[in-house]
């Protein structure tokens, strides 16, 4: 995983769904999470993005360019926000098999 960036930033859509907040990443297939509060959803979104991008790097999958936040189609009542993935932390966690148990939050 040489020449990989220290951070990735992607837009996410946060939507209230009943008593939960759901988070999706329009640019990244299968990257989603949910939480009881918006604050928890924001934290969880970062962890999910880190995990998804780590495995894309590890498997040499394509890394899509992020869509500009202004170009995201936000559903009524939804919130679009940039989410950052700290890849140094993700690589350290996933690179150490003793520490990664239970890491996936999606």
Q: Which fold has domain 7-94?
A: Double Stranded RNA Binding Domain (3.30.160)
Beta bridge partners of 21: 16, 35
Instruction: Give me the mean pLDDT over the 46-57 stretch.
Output: 92
pLDDT range class, residue 96, cuts 50, 70, 90: low
- Residue 88, pLDDT above cutoff 90: no
- Residue 29, pLDDT above cutoff 80: yes
- When comparing pLDDT for 98 and 85, which is higher? 85
- Rounded to two decimals, the pTM is 0.83
């Amino acid at each position: 995983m040489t020449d990989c960036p220290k951070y990735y930033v992607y837009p996410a859509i946060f939507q209230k769904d009943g008593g939960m907040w759901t988070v999706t990443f329009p640019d990244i297939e299968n990257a989603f999470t949910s939480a009881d509060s918006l604050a928890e959803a924001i934290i969880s979104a970062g962890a999910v993005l880190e995990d998804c991008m780590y495995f894309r790097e590890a498997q040499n999958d394509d890394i899509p360019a992020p869509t500009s936040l202004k170009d995201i189609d936000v559903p009524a009542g939804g919130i679009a926000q940039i989410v950052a993935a700290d890849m140094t932390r993700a690589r350290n966690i996933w690179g150490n098999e003793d520490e990664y148990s239970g890491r996936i939050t999606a």
